[in-house]
Every structure is written in structure tokens, then in C-alpha cells.
Chain A
Amino acid sequence: MNIYVLLKRTFDTEEKISLSNGRIQEDGAEFIINPYDEYAVEEAIQVRDAQGGEVTVVTVGGEDAEKELRTALAMGADKAVLINIEDDVEDGDQYTTAKILSEYLKEQEVDLIIGGNVAIDGGSGQVGPRVAGLLDIPYVTTVTKLEIDGENVTVTKDVEGDSEIIETSLPLLITAQQGLNEPRYPSLPGIMKAKKKPLEELELDDLDLEEDDVEAKTKSIEIYLPAQKEAGKVLQGEIPDQVKELVQLLRSEAKVI
């Protein structure tokens, strides 16, 4: 099976966000594989181990993303592809990323594509379904279980708490939801092996794409931080009195009950 994983490099979940010249400050930030994409890498590896085949991890980004690709290789992926748009594209959006990924993927033999269901920085969750739409293959988002039996596939989809059991077939794109699996930590031998695994770098030219073809259709015009909340009241006194006071405040001050 030829399995492709869509991977994005994001800030670590603990990172505090600060602005510099109206843009998110990246200097000094810790970067990781988007947590949802980790589930995708892990699932791809498990499917390959069960069914045979090869796992290729793909990312659209800059030089720095090599680090996250190597981590995925260290987890057990076989190959990595960096589509480096640093020099060609400024301020791309999800239209941009999906177009680039689908141009790459349509030239490959693809049985299964797995992505995370949302990136914790952008938070829009668009790229997976966009790519499926562009490649015209079936897809299921927010998957918590994947079972492949030949060409037949049964997936469990998380729908706001309910679970849907869905039957579909390959080729297929799925996006990973929390609970799909427990991503492994790269082992030391894995990290060593990863250094020798193939990491291919492509640019727009290699995909026969011009900057105009992938130009963003949306634009961010302002970024701001939420207003600092005023310090709250920590109540004092005997617990029963505090509770009475709280209820009073919620009714007359906060006006929420």
C-alpha cells in the first residue's frame, strides 16, 4: 500500500503567543509536528506494518520543516518530501497548500492519505478535505478508528461525540481525530535510521506550478492578542457564605443566571 501522510509544523502547545510588527513572533519558539498529524503518522505506520507498503510523509513549508520530517522518519515513516515554497510563495492560504499538495499527489500512486483533522495554529482543518476534493477521492474526517480489509474500509468517525461507522473504499483520504491511536516516541535507533532515510526536496517548478497558480484567495489583515482579563475575585470567608456571595454576584454583577 502506498500511504501518504500530510504533515504540518506548528508551535508547541505550551507556547505563549506574542506579536512583533503585527505578526506572530516566531523567534525562539519551539516547533513540533502538529499533534493531530502525529496521529496520522502513527496510523500510517501501523497500517503499513499490517498491510505492507510504504509511508511517505509530505509537508509544504520551508527548510525548517526538515526537522519535523526527520522526526516522522524516526517514528518509522519510510520517506519524506519537503515541498519548499519559502522562496516562491508569500502568505499562502489553505487554497495554496491544498493545490500544491494535490499537484504532487496526483503524480503518485496513492492508496491512502492520512492527515491530522486540524492544525493547532491555523485551526481551520481545511487542507485534508480540499485535497480529497481536488483529487476526487472519497474522504472521512475526524476518524477515531480505521480498519482496512482489501479494498474495503470501515472507519469510525467522531461527530461531536456520536460515532458513525462508515463503509468506504480505497483510495481514501482520512483525517485523524484524538483517540485514533497513541503516537509512539521516536526511539534512539529510529532517530539514527532516520538520518539515512530519503528526504526529497521539491519546489513549485518541480510541480509545474507558477506562483500565480497557487496565490492565496484570502488574506489576514490584522492579528491581535485577546484583551488581558482583569483580575478576578477569589472569594473569602466560610464556604457556605462564599457560595451565597457567588450566586449573588452571578446574578446581579455578572448577570449570567
Chain B
Amino acid sequence: MSRKVIVLGETRDSSLRNVSFEAVAAAKTVAEGGEVVGVVFGEAVSEAGKELIHYGADRVIVVENEQLKQYSSDGYTQALMAVIDQENPEGIILGHTSLGKDLAPRLAGKLGSGLISDAIAVEEAGGNIVFTRPIYSGKAFEKRIVTEGIVFATIRPNNIDPLEHDASRSGDVQSLSVDIKDLRTVIKEVLRKATEGVDLSEAKVIVAGGRGVKSAEGFEPLKELADVLGGAVGASRGACDADYCDYALQIGQTGKVVTPDLYIACGISGAIQHLAGMSNSKVIVAINKDPEANIFKVADYGIVGDLFEVVPLLTEEIKALLVKS
């Protein structure tokens, strides 16, 4: 059964985050031949809107308003409700990002609809749109469907492939004017604590440090390795608790959940709570002095050794390999 599905693109510094294109791909599945309408909010976002079409959206609605330059629940709810009122969609897809986690449930509450959060896959099966999502911090998975009303879901970044980019694809970019007012939460200041570069939740390669890193300086060799691989640096809770790094790097049950292609765990013992955050990585490498460390049970490859000896050597080897290629 075909559906009209809207996709909220998410901008970061005037371009769209990758998850927006992944969301378009997911929306195509939900639409089952119906129209996929991209939606972008902010200031001067028409160009960004066109990218949604290049990644598969049939047309785009742009709400340009200074009040939408920064995310606020009230602002984005008003804008998205205006789009919903105009379009009457049968499906809505957002990325499961800070914005998506904040906005989607509030909107679902307002619409009185169901919402399936943090989907890692979406497929048509047996007459339903079936979403697969992790539960119990990734120790199990469930397949979930909407039984009534709008098919509303958020998708986990880095899990659903976007469609092939096609710059020749065209579609209408329509403007919608929305009066945004009475914002009850106002951002006064943004403190960018996150390190420059790759976002952990979208990183294809992560080099993570645990208590074995022993100090803040101990992260330096890991940073170098991450740089050579074009990846991000992460950490276990142990390292964060010991003040070797900021909590922004924490991966685990009460930190970030990541699904990179390559996860290199350095000096991480592999407690269940940490595994919950990274066990769905495609390939896991463990480097630890302790041959009994739990991390070796989930690692595809392991080196029993001192990370301060292994990591710099690994960096050199990979540099050499990349130069040759």
C-alpha cells in the first residue's frame, strides 16, 4: 500500500547530516511507491533541500525562518505541524539524533500516534513495514510494526544505506511560510565541547581507550591512530570516570552506542556495559595486556600487549599501507 512519507532533514552548519539521506532511503521503503517529501528548516536551506532530492526525495518543502536556525522543540513542532497539516502524510521519518530523540516523541504525543525509535533496518514483510531495533542495550533485537495510524520512526545513524547520489535528479523545492512564536525554551549559549572532526555516532572507524590508557596524555597515541584512519576517538566509562577524557567520548550502555566498520579497543577490559555500546561494530580489534580480558571474547582480532607499544606501531604500519595504496 503506498504512502506519502515526509522526512525531516537535519542540518549542521548549513549542510545536511548524512542521517538525513539515510532517512530518505528508509522513507522510500515505507512509502512503497508513494511520494517521499523532504523537509528542511532554517535559514537559506534551499540548496540543502535540493540534496534531499539528489538522494531520492520526490520533492522538498523548505520552511525558512530565523527562529528555526537553531533547534527548539516548540519551533520545530510548529513548523513540522504546519507541514503535516498541509501534506497529511502517512509516514514520518527522522534521524535518531539528539534532535530526533527530542522532537519525534513530542510530536507523536501531539499527534496521538505510535513511534518506533532507533531503527537499524526497515523492510516490507508480510504486508507490514517492519522496523528492526536493538533493545536491552543491544543484547537483543526486536522487529516492530505500527498497528494503527501514521508510520512514524526514527532511524539510527550509520545503519541504513542512503540511495546512490544523483545530481541529475530533479524535483520541486517549495517554500512554506510558518509563523514561529512563543518559544518556551531559548538557547542562550552553545559550548562546543566535542572535539573537531568525526562524530562518534557516524564514525566508520573508532579508536577507543579504557583505563589502560592511564592518563589524559595516554590518549595521544590513540588520537594519532584515529587520525591516520580518518576515524574518531572514543572511551570506556572507566577512562571517563578516571578523568582521562571527557564524558562526550564515552561509549557504552550509559554513553553512546556506535556501529562503526572498525572498532579498536585499547586498554579496555570489555565490561558488559561497554560491550552494549559497541558490540555491533562490524570488526572489533582488541589490544590489552591481560589475555583474560573479556574484550577478547567479542574481538575479531586480538593482540595481547601493551597498548603504548602496539598502537604507535599500528599507526606506522597503517600509514605505510595507505601510502603504498
Contacts and interface: CB of A to CB of B under 8 A. Distances in A.
Contact of A246 (B97, B145, B250, B314): B314
Interface stretch (B47-55, B133-141, B160-168): B133-141
A120 B140 CA distance: 12
Contact of A235 (B117, B303, B318): B303
Contacts of B115: 94-95, 124, 126, 218
Contact of A98 (B109, B136, B299): B109
Contacts of B110: 133-134
Contacts of B283: 250, 254, 256
B114 A95 contact: yes
B262 A126 contact: no
B147 A223 contact: no
B248 A161 contact: yes
A178 B254 contact: yes
A240 B303 CA distance: 11
B73 interface: yes
Interface in B198-248: 199-201, 205, 229, 246-248
Contacts, number: 260
A46 interface: no
A162 B192 CA distance: 5
Contacts of B201: 160
B98 interface: yes
> Contact residue range for chain B?
35 or more
Interface string A93-137: 111001000100000000000000010111111111111111000
B323 interface: no
B109 A251 contact: no
Interface string A204-221: 000000000000111111
B140 A226 contact: yes
A166 interface: yes
Interface in B275-325: 279-280, 282-286, 291, 296, 298-305, 309-310, 313-314, 317-318, 321-322
A120 B247 CA distance: 18
Interface stretch (A13-21, A62-70, A75-83, A188-196): A13-21
Nearest to A222: B143
Contacts of A257: 205, 229, 262, 318, 321-322
A234 B287 CA distance: 10
Nearest to A141: B102
Contacts of B74: 138
Contacts of B85: none
B114 A256 contact: no
A123 B135 contact: yes
A37 to B, nearest CB: 12
Nearest to A168: B185
Given A126-B117, A244-B317, A257-B229, A160 B106 contact: no
Contacts of B147: 216-219
A161 B109 contact: no
Nearest to B285: A246
B181 interface: no
Contacts of A220: 142-144
A17 B114 contact: no
A216 B130 CA distance: 16
A239 B305 contact: yes
B253 interface: yes
A123 B106 contact: no
Contacts of A217: 113-114, 146-149
B232 to A, nearest CB: 11
Given A159-B98, A220-B144, A233-B300, A95 B190 contact: no
A142 interface: yes
A120 B189 CA distance: 30
Contacts of B200: 160-161
Ranked 10 nearest A-B pairs via Cβ: A217-B114, A161-B194, A133-B109, A161-B248, A124-B117, A130-B109, A138-B184, A126-B105, A129-B105, A218-B114
